[in-house]
């Protein structure tokens, strides 16, 4: 797979995941932004290593482009998000984000099952939203 094919496949992967969630990234709240970017990061990383056979650094550059071009993050924010996601690969530093990335790594196989992918994303968001409400001390 050449670099052009890899970029197109990467964008297709991110767009399918976003479409399955059913909401445009510009409308995400903070929780959705973190969860969806972590899920896509995990899915993209797994796809890159297992199927595309690219190096880790190539995968990170492509993910930076996805955050900018598909998620619509300004370039500086995309860079900050990449640093955050890369730091989360150390599962002890941010265990929740790490687990979301792991869900993405296994969930990318659902790309050809949009209903199942949608259900998975919505359930994950609901559970995390409830957990956040509980830890914030609000009923």
Q: Which residue stretches of the chain have pLDDT < 50?
A: 133-139
pTM here? Answer: 0.89
Rg (alpha carbons) of the chain, rounded to whole number = 14
Q: Structural domain of residue 89, as residue ranges? A: 3-136
Residue for token digits 């949009």? 114
So what's the pLDDT on residue 133? 45
SS3 content of the chain, % helix, strand, coil (to 5): 80, 0, 20
For 29-65, the pLDDT digits (tens) are 988 999 999 999 999 999 999 888 898 899 999 999 9
Q: CA 73 → CA 22, 24, 33, 63, 77, distances in Å?
A: 18, 12, 10, 12, 6
Gap between the Cα atoms of 16 and 119, Å rounded: 13
Tokens of 19: 């479409």
**How many domains would you assign to the chain?**
1
So what's the pLDDT on residue 53? 87
């Amino acid at each position: 797979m050449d670099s052009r094919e890899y970029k197109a496949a990467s964008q297709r992967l991110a767009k399918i995941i976003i479409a399955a969630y059913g909401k445009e990234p510009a409308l995400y709240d903070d929780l959705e932004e973190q969860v969806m970017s972590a899920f896509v990061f995990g899915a993209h990383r797994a796809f890159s290593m297992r199927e595309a056979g690219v190096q880790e650094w190539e995968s990170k550059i492509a993910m930076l482009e996805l955050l900018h071009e598909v998620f619509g993050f300004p370039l500086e924010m995309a860079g900050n998000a990449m640093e955050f996601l890369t730091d989360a690969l150390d599962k002890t530093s941010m265990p929740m984000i790490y687990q979301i990335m792991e869900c993405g790594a296994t969930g990318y196989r659902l790309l050809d099952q949009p209903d199942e992918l949608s259900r998975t994303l919505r359930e994950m968001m609901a559970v995390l939203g409830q957990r956040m409400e509980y830890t914030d001390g609000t009923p």
